[in-house]
Structure 1
């Protein structure tokens, strides 16, 4: 079988390449070749993607020792995504207390205050405002500062460094590694400070775990902080901006949310399902440890699979009329945050941040609209506007 070149081609904004739909219907196990690495199988159906996310017959750890399908010459992994249980379970358990529903709800008041202050600044400055720099980026940045214990005044510095974590082709491998090294050094310095003076933050909690014995090494500590800061911060900022853009595209849905704010939690799930935020599906290739039967055929032991979660979220077998955006839909079960042992540990925090951000901006600016053309960034693992001018 001849492998298709992947990714398929450029897309505009938040559109999905129609090839995903054709493959989902006719070739749910499609052979693909990325610019670097070996060939792999692209999964596009909901049931197949969900199984591969959670079934122990598929391994993330194997990717660390294989010539994985990838966009750049070097493979860029991360600590939690390069491990299978039980090592993954050990590290995840150390973080779990920071991301419980109760802990996240305790942070909601802080998020509401910060969102209000950012919107105050936007309103005082007057329209037009650039939504990314004025709101979508600083809100999750301030929240992750609060959670981890990163000084607010350093956020512009670590924002530039954290972007390297999400780069696919936007930076050269050399520039990416240089920035990640600088970010690791910055976070290691904060950890050293917490060894002298502990505070009520996640860095302090992880330092305690490190010092209690063999639960967490110094290297693991820094790698976990890089992952949390790099991935969680950028992905939430991207989704806030993408969600505002989507609601402006469908003003009837935005109007419904203003009239019935109790719909917001379900609307955020629908936004997570509908928005194809992941730029391409090569972020976390998994390797079959044995032959596995999927709807499109057999994946043999030792073969990698790439998971098109955004295509699975538009599978009509799971979500009727899937291309319709509907804030009243029950979108629970979407795969945006993954499924199984590697389900995004920061999902509850991200949900809360987006709920607060959308509720605040829709309530403050009933006449919110685009003020100019939106430009979209490229070469990053998450789609998002590069600039999004708005007025009200």
Structure 2
């Protein structure tokens, strides 16, 4: 990879994209490439350019600005998203609609609301580990990293507990997990039925019906800890002009964005600890001493080092602009490569080194600007809880596979493992 651009988007690239991104940062920091879909887009790989692009209002989130609008649908990174009724959500709209919709849901992610949710997240983490702790082996993606955030976001949205296993099925199909999804306790040995499009359709239909049922039963005044779907309905019924399609699309995107990023955060973070034993020991010692500070700092470093979102969702130039010395034409798609920016040696000392004590760490793992991840406080809570619980409940767990044999899910936007087998001393 000395003179020619690296080969992108192969399975080998997916396993370790960082050498290719290092070449692009040095030789072609804003690089036009043809994606596997056939669409040409600009990849932004340097930290300074990435921050500029993420905050530049000339780069719209609305796919209608794409130079090839016929190909623009479904380009948010959400599997199966093709229909217009799912398209009006925070990931692909601009102000003033973005401002209005973000304001509606921001109340669900305040520090106080997230803190109140902490005992439930801990209960979920402990319950999941209880399910395999006595066995001595587990797949931490299927049995821990995946179900923890899906059940948590279902609780936050107000999906009844008796329906949450259906969401686990549908979400498993959307992520293309091996075997069609994680095992279903109601159907031993089987994953969810159907394909990605069908799972999206079923999830969308369920949310529309749930919104209708919650609207019919909505009390006159909100009670303590009112679920998010009820709050969205209340807002739409009190002058915020939230349409039913917007409410369903909002619930859908919060469900999707609220779990897949956290699946990857827990999975990638755990894998990084397993392959960096000195850093894992450092964190484990601090937890044993009752010091949670290193866990907070360490999680930020895990987000920087191998974060859950490889590229920010699509942006489209609305007028001519220059980025990293390259002229971007109106309608051109732009993909900001967060994974590359967060290993830029111009911004981070020894960027390819995992240092859980790193202090100067203004990473872009959850974005930047007005589209900064709304659910980041909840994801951080879930990530910290998951890692602390694993390290204390399963103190000697080790990777039960050659790291080179692990497979990463394909796709442009997200970065995450398909499986993460571990072994440990059986316990309670």
**1:185 maps onto 2:205 in alignment:** yes
Q: Which residue of 2 aligns with 1:147?
A: 156
Q: Which residue of 2 aligns with 1:102?
A: 112
Query: 1:316 Cα shift?
Result: 0.7
- Return the match for 2:227 from 177, 201, 207: 201
Contact 2:147 / 2:168 at 8 angstroms: preserved in 1?
A: no
Q: Which residue of 2 aligns with 1:48?
A: 49
- Return the match for 1:271 from 302, 310, 327: 302
Query: 1:19 Cα shift?
Result: 2.0
Query: 1:311 Cα shift?
Result: 0.3
Contact 2:267 / 2:416 at 8 angstroms: preserved in 1?
A: yes
1:190–1:213 CA distance, 2 compared to 1 (3 A):
same
- Return the match for 1:386 from 418, 421, 424: 418
- String of CA shifts for 1:21-73, please: whole Å, max 9, x gaps: 11101111211111335422211001111111111121111456542676999
Contact 1:289 / 1:302 at 8 angstroms: preserved in 2?
A: yes
Contact 1:238 / 1:384 at 8 angstroms: preserved in 2?
A: yes
Query: 1:331 Cα shift?
Result: 5.3
Query: 1:301 Cα shift?
Result: 3.3
Q: Which residue of 2 aligns with 1:337?
A: 366
Contact 1:163 / 1:234 at 8 angstroms: preserved in 2?
A: no
**1:249 maps onto 2:275 in alignment:** yes
1:317–1:179 CA distance, 2 compared to 1 (3 A):
same
- Return the match for 1:86 from 96, 99, 117: 96
TM-score w.r.t. structure 2 length? 0.82
Q: Which residue of 2 aligns with 1:291?
A: 320
Secondary structure at the aligned position of 2:11 is classed as coil
Secondary structure at the aligned position of 1:386 is classed as coil
**1:118 maps onto 2:128 in alignment:** yes
Q: Which residue of 2 aligns with 1:312?
A: 341
Q: Which residue of 1 aligns with 2:167?
A: 158
Q: Which residue of 1 aligns with 2:188?
A: none
Counterpart Cα distance in 2 of 1:240 and 1:152:
23
**1:327 maps onto 2:356 in alignment:** yes
Gaps of 5+ in 2: 181-193, 288-292
**1:352 maps onto 2:384 in alignment:** no
1:309–1:73 CA distance, 2 compared to 1 (3 A):
closer
Secondary structure at the aligned position of 1:333 is classed as coil
Q: Which residue of 2 aligns with 1:237?
A: 263
| Residues paired across the two proteins, number | 384
1:65–1:44 CA distance, 2 compared to 1 (3 A):
closer
1:336–1:153 CA distance, 2 compared to 1 (3 A):
same
1:149–1:73 CA distance, 2 compared to 1 (3 A):
closer
Secondary structure at the aligned position of 2:334 is classed as strand
Contact 2:6 / 2:23 at 8 angstroms: preserved in 1?
A: no
Q: Give the RMSD, CA atoms, in angstroms.
A: 2.9
Query: 1:151 Cα shift?
Result: 2.0
1:6–1:34 CA distance, 2 compared to 1 (3 A):
farther
Counterpart Cα distance in 2 of 1:145 and 1:187:
11
- String of CA shifts for 1:105-145, please: whole Å, max 9, x gaps: 1111221222222223322x321122223221221122112
1:164–1:84 CA distance, 2 compared to 1 (3 A):
farther
Moved more, 66-75 or 327-336: 66-75
Query: 1:15 Cα shift?
Result: 2.1
Query: 1:245 Cα shift?
Result: 1.0
Contact 1:63 / 1:82 at 8 angstroms: preserved in 2?
A: no
1:9–1:105 CA distance, 2 compared to 1 (3 A):
same
Q: Which residue of 2 aligns with 1:24?
A: 25
Counterpart Cα distance in 2 of 1:74 and 1:385:
20
1:78–1:164 CA distance, 2 compared to 1 (3 A):
farther
1:225–1:7 CA distance, 2 compared to 1 (3 A):
farther
